[in-house]
Amino acid sequence: MKKLIHSFCFSLSLVCAGIGSASAQDAPQTNLPRITLTAGIHQIDTQLALTPDQRQIGLMFRKEMPQQEGMLFVFEQPATQCFWMKNTILPLTAAFVEDDGSIANLADMKPQTTDSHCSTKPVRYVLEMNVGWFAKKGIKAGSKLGGKPFEQAK
């Protein structure tokens, strides 16, 4: 009987350990480097997703994000960038941004979908904000963002 109880407790601890690691894996990224970007007179407190792992996780599992915050995905070179919203709870708008800060196009993205949203031309940057932020500020395709990443193109 003792052996059976020990075996059961050991199995239960493995299951609990698995549950613990799954929830740690599903935690949002909150410790990424930050910079300030501008969109006209508006400032954006921006987290930087620089590595493939950071870009892959992005804003997944985030339950809220202040209106003035966003995440800038930085790629090594311009290419057609496509995004989806698997495991992303917040509705977001993606701005596909050229090297000089010009917005190529915007895409509103629904939470927890695998619909693909792509840039209309090769871009190096994608800025995700809460859905509607760009529209409320009058920022659209052709508008320019400012900040350190876009200063190198000058």
Model confidence at 125: pLDDT above 50: yes
Distance CA 149, CA 29 (A): 21
Per cent of the chain over pLDDT 70 is 82
**The token pair that represents 21 in the structure block:** 């690691």
Q: How confident is the model at residue 152 (pLDDT cuts 50, 70, 90)?
A: confident
Domain count, the chain: 1
28 lies in some domain: no
Structure tokens at 79: 């290419």
Let me know if residue 119 belongs to a domain. Answer: yes
**What's this model's pTM, rounded to 2 decimal places?**
0.82
Residue 1 in this model has a pLDDT that exceeds 50: no
Average pLDDT over residues 34-62: 97
- CATH code, 66: 2.60.120.1140
Residue 76 belongs to a domain: yes
C-alpha closest to that of 142 among 109, 107, 95: 95
Query: Is residue 95, in this structure, part of any structural domain at all?
Result: yes
Provide the pLDDT confidence category of residue 87 given band limits of 50, 70 and 90. Answer: very high
What confidence tier does 26 reach under pLDDT thresholds 50, 70, 90?
Answer: confident
Q: Domain of residue 126: give its range.
A: 34-151
Whole-number average pLDDT of the chain: 86
At residue 93, does pLDDT exceed 60? Answer: yes
Identify the band that residue 17 occupies on the pLDDT scale cut at 50, 70 and 90.
very low
> Is it the case that residue 98 has pLDDT exceeding 70?
yes
Q: Which two tokens stand for residue 96?
A: 């596909």
Instruction: Find, among 23, 34, 31, 6, the residue nearest to 148 by Cα.
Output: 34
- Give the model's pLDDT for residue 139: 97
Q: Residue 24 falls within a domain, yes or no? A: no
pLDDT above 90 covers what percent of the chain?
78
pLDDT value, residue 14 = 32
In a domain, 23, yes or no: no
